[in-house]
Amino acid sequence: MNWRKLRTFLITVLVLALIPATRYYQIDVPLLRFLRGSHRVDPLSLHLAGEFVENNLGTEQDPDGSVTVRMVAQQYLFVPQCIVVPAGIPVHLRITSADAVHSLTLNGTDYAVKVLPGTISEAQLQFPHPGEYKMPCREFCGAGHYAMRSELKVVPRDQFPALRPGERGSCAAQ
């Protein structure tokens, strides 16, 4: 094989190898779950047991003072519909999907989190100032996609209350 043929061959292999990379989010879920190991979760039993049962959703204060937010994306809403977090404190987001692929975004920020059924997506967020953000879904997920949104409320650090499980996902608790 001469160099020219070899070069053509290598370029062809490279291009073929890139095709699956562009289809990353369409790789079948069992394979993805296997590759992600501990991040897997069964989308069909989210509401029955484990980390994403209903009264575990929302904002929880961690022993080190940071907060963890747990959410479930489903056609066509993010649960809970309103999240309250303190300003100036690291926020660990953990979110999974009960059905399709969604994308949680925060208007006015660069944050965007792809949410897939079967896996837990994690993101580190931080908000320096109090404020309110709309959180629309930016991944087409079906007929109700354009109405799929939640809200995030950032409150001053000293006003962030110790939320009980039932209040963690409600702006009305403020």
The residues binding ligand CUA (CB under 6 A) are 102, 137, 139-141, 145, 148
Between the CA of residue 24 and those of 18, 28, 29, 31, 94, what are the distances in Å? 10, 9, 11, 11, 20
Q: Are 136 and 25 in contact (CB under 8 A)?
A: no
Residue number with CB closer to ligand CUA (91 or 141): 141
Q: How far is the CB of 147 from ligand CUA (least distance, A)?
A: 9
∠ CA 153-159-106, nearest 5°, is 15
Residue number with CB closer to ligand CUA (36 or 145): 145
Q: How far is the CB of 13 from ligand CUA (least distance, A)?
A: 36
Between CA 121 and CA 115 the distance in angstroms is 6
Residue number with CB closer to ligand CUA (104 or 163): 104
Q: How far is the CB of 165 from ligand CUA (least distance, A)?
A: 25
> Residue 76, preceding bond cis, omega within 30 degrees?
yes
Between CA 168 and CA 81 the distance in angstroms is 11
Between CA 125 and CA 83 the distance in angstroms is 13
Q: How far is the CB of 143 from ligand CUA (least distance, A)?
A: 10
Q: Are 119 and 96 in contact (CB under 8 A)?
A: yes
Q: How far is the CB of 140 from ligand CUA (least distance, A)?
A: 6
Residue number with CB closer to ligand CUA (92 or 145): 145
Residue number with CB closer to ligand CUA (69 or 139): 139
User: Is 9 strand, coil or helix?
Assistant: helix
